Amino acid sequence: MDNQHRRIVGYRELTAAEIDLMNEIKLLGPVIEAVLMKVNKHLSDQATEAVNNNLQNVKDRVDDATPYRFQALAKTEFQTGLMYLTRAVAQPTFF
């Protein structure tokens, strides 16, 4: 359906500049996701190497540092940040 946002309470028409800005924000998502995936692969490779080579110091460091937790938190915060940016531009009037 064309112009669906007009039928949803709290949304408005965006200007061309706002649409361009929203699209620029949306383009950041796949870039950030790719970096997050690279970090996750690095962590996985690191864990595999530590197990395969019996590197106890690496295993201990990873256990202490909880890098998977921080990678997951980063993912959540980036998703939240991008949502905040789109909301700042779209300026919906609902809670």
List pLDDT tens digits, range 25-34.
999 999 999 9
Take residue 29 and report the two structure tokens written for it.
């998502």
What is the distance between the alpha carbons of residues 21 and 15, in angstroms, rounded to a whole number?
Answer: 10
User: Is there a contact between 93 and 13 (Cβ–Cβ < 8 Å)?
Assistant: no
What is the distance between the alpha carbons of residues 27 and 62, in angstroms, rounded to a whole number?
Answer: 32
> Looking at residue 95, what is its pLDDT?
86
How many C-beta atoms lie closer than 10 Å to residue 16's C-beta?
Answer: 7
Size of the chain, expressed as the number of residues it contains: 95
Quote the mean pLDDT of the chain: 92
pLDDT tens by residue, 74-85: 999 999 999 999
User: Is there a contact between 14 and 22 (Cβ–Cβ < 8 Å)?
Assistant: yes
